[in-house]
Structure 1
Amino acid sequence: MKPSFRLLSTVAAAALVCCASSSVLAQSKFVLKLAHADSADLGTSRKAVMADTFAKEVKAKSGGRIDVQIFGAGALGGEREVVEGVKNGFIQAGLASGVMANFFPGAMVTDIPYLFPSDEVADKVMDGPFGQKLSADFNAATGMHNLCFGEVGFRHFSSGKKPIHSPKDLVGMKIRVQETPLYVTEMKALGAQPTPIAFPETYTALQTGVVDGQENPIPTLIFAKFYEVQKNVTLDGHNYGIDWFVLSDKFYKSLPPDLLKVVTDAGKVACAEERKVNRTFTANGNKTMADKGVTVYTPTAAELAEFRAAAQPPVIEFLKTKIDPKLIDSIQTAVKDADAKK
């Protein structure tokens, strides 16, 4: 009887191991909902490209253990709702830009006017020690994780009445801006009359003369067809926008080390691809504007220095009331060092 009992015990133990293994295997499957509020069109939307690149990388490198489900075009809400969903763990990941300061005031530091002299310098700063420290501060303050920094791009002026070559040309002009204190402060410093208007209403406001001009990255200007009602564009690059790729802490902690590396690496690949595509969109946009009869002006070094001298000090003073002044000094030093190493 004893041998039979031992045999049964062995079979039972094997069955338990088998069941346990099946349970572990089942638990190794993860669903990652990735949301953003931009268009889902890969031909025009940088965030759609970013999400698609990430999904493909994760699928390939995880062997299908992570199922990335993309919800674009605001399917899960606007940027604020997306980030709130990530923070609360309802959404695993999200792509957002302007709304980030509402969750982490330190995000405003990259909006210092005329901070980055080129996208090459911006890449070095945001991919380097400064960007890593900013992501760590973000995690400490919010509990969320930032996988990488993408690119909204440089913001430029457009106008319908007259070209803008210096701050003097902005004096008295009504410029449509986002309804944020930083941009309002910046436009006032440049002599303009900042006029907050919802983006969907901007085209009509430009067309009817409610405002004289606006400011946005070139791809946005093309997407919204502002070139139809704005025949002057000034490539001054007064602000450089950042996309954040945020990840839920709950999801972050649920991943085994190997899959966490897959997600982290895929994020970096996605951000790099987004920057590349966005710069292509920008180059194509400049050509489109020329074809549409828009006069595109690139300020001289002296003119840019004049813009910078007018806009930077007031905005920096404003920022010092909102964020740690050391963060401002840190990014300015990082930009200086990166520019010197070009």
Structure 2
Amino acid sequence: MFDNAKQYGVGALFILGCAFFSGAASASYNIKIAHSSPAVDDRLEKSLQVFKENVEKRTDGEVTISTYPASQLGGEREQLEGVQFGSIEMAVLAGPISSIYPDIMVFDLPYLFKNKKVAYEVLDGDFGQRILNGMLPKTGIRALAWGENGFRHFTNNVHPIKKPEDLAGLKIRTMENPAHMAMVKDLGANPTPMAFGEVYSALQMGVIDGEENPVSLIDSMRFYEVQKYLTLDGHVYNPFTFIVNDAFFSSLPAKYQTVLKEEAKHWSDVERQLNAEQAERSIQKLKDSGMQIVDLSDQDKQAFREATQPVYDMYRKQLGDAMIDDLLNAVAEAESKN
């Protein structure tokens, strides 16, 4: 650049210098947000478009956002690593965070929440915020907000699941999550972790017998095309976690940090509402597609709760009695209000 400036004289050097400093002054911040949910007809991408619009508007376009749905930047594990090491600025994840931050597994304990109101009370209360805030010092990743993937349910191609014994011997895809894998094993099935983007073809080819996901994803991922039976047991309430690389976050001007934090909280409300609406539509769509749906009563679920108690014992050893007791106390308090 400076050789060219010599060739064309001092005036050219002055112009180039002005252009350089002008560009620096008007520098913007570009954010990539990765996730694994579908690009269309799904509540997560829709809610992130609201987040994008609000952030860009409030920062006068100085912060720009691009979303990468449908595992475009890799599976959830690759997305997590990308955020941790800074190649991806932000992501919304449901699964692999426990591999680097075990405390978050407390929300994967089976049959923990009886309904969404209880889940919201715990997640948005002191205990949930303690788990959210604890991620940064242990991982270098800042957690901004909880979203909602939803209550997870079993599907399969062999027979209806009405009692724990019906899971015996089935190969069930799980996330790469120790609590989920332990739960499926305690119910007598064979947990088969695999990347989310591979599940449809694995079901189609019979590599696995079934999977477990919220109804909104069973719908948007079109699993109803390759699965016959759905059991609404709600074995795990699965939150999304909205995360950001902390080094990137800290590089932003304070006013933009505030915008991201505030809009992440707003995103949580928007995404939860969109998920509730999609879940309601999805149940009807799955019925219309021909899936046989078993809706378990709370009494029916008791046998499943008893069968999966060893998971609680396992995590008492791993996370400590105090952590589990604090969680159960928070759940009991939330149940008393709801």
Are residues 1:215 and 2:233 paired?
A: no
Q: For the aligned residues, what is the CA RMSD?
A: 2.7
TM-score by length of 1: 0.83
Q: How much does 1:89 deviate?
A: 3.1
Contact 1:38 1:47 in 2 (8 A): no
3-state DSSP class of the match of 1:336?
helix
Are residues 1:323 and 2:319 paired?
A: yes
Q: How much does 1:202 deviate?
A: 4.1
Structure 1 residues 135 and 179, CA gap change in structure 2 (3 angstroms)? closer
Of the three residues 153, 157, 180, the one matched with 2:154 is 157
Contact 2:35 2:91 in 1 (8 A): no
Are residues 1:124 and 2:121 paired?
A: yes
Q: How much does 1:268 deviate?
A: 0.9
Contact 2:47 2:274 in 1 (8 A): no
Of the three residues 35, 38, 51, the one matched with 1:37 is 35
Q: How much does 1:275 deviate?
A: 1.5
User: Equivalences for 1:69-218 in 2 at 5 Å?
Assistant: 69-196=66-193, 199=196, 202-203=199-200, 205-207=202-204, 211-218=208-215
3-state DSSP class of the match of 1:238?
strand
Are residues 1:287 and 2:279 paired?
A: no
Q: C-alpha separation between the residues in 1 aligned to 2:112 and 2:61?
A: 41
Amino acid at match of 1:334: A
Unaligned runs of 5+ in 2: 1-19
Q: How much does 1:320 deviate?
A: 2.9
Cα distance per residue 1:81-137 (max 9 Å; x no partner):
332232233332222220111221112111000011112221221111112111221
User: Equivalences for 1:215-294 in 2 at 5 Å?
Assistant: 215-294=212-291
3-state DSSP class of the match of 2:35?
coil
Q: Which residue of 1 aligns with 2:17?
A: none
Q: C-alpha separation between the residues in 1 aligned to 2:126 and 2:22?
A: 38
Q: C-alpha separation between the residues in 1 aligned to 2:225 and 2:306?
A: 32
Contact 2:75 2:196 in 1 (8 A): no
Cα distance per residue 1:2-34 (max 9 Å; x no partner):
xxxxxxxxxxxxxxxxxxxx9799557541413
Q: How much does 1:77 deviate?
A: 3.0
Q: C-alpha separation between the residues in 2 aligned to 1:57 and 1:70?
A: 14
Q: Which shows bigger deviation, 241-250 or 82-91? A: 82-91
Structure 1 residues 196 and 135, CA gap change in structure 2 (3 angstroms)? closer
Amino acid at match of 1:109: V
Contact 2:249 2:257 in 1 (8 A): yes
Q: How much does 1:211 deviate?
A: 4.2
Q: How many residues align?
A: 320
3-state DSSP class of the match of 1:114?
coil
Q: Which shows bigger deviation, 319-328 or 276-285? A: 319-328
Q: C-alpha separation between the residues in 2 aligned to 1:92 and 1:199?
A: 21
Of the three residues 325, 335, 338, the one matched with 1:339 is 335
Q: C-alpha separation between the residues in 2 aligned to 1:168 and 1:281?
A: 31
Contact 1:53 1:269 in 2 (8 A): no
Contact 1:36 1:82 in 2 (8 A): yes
Q: Which runs of 4+ in 1 moved over 6 A?
A: 22-25
Q: How much does 1:206 deviate?
A: 4.2
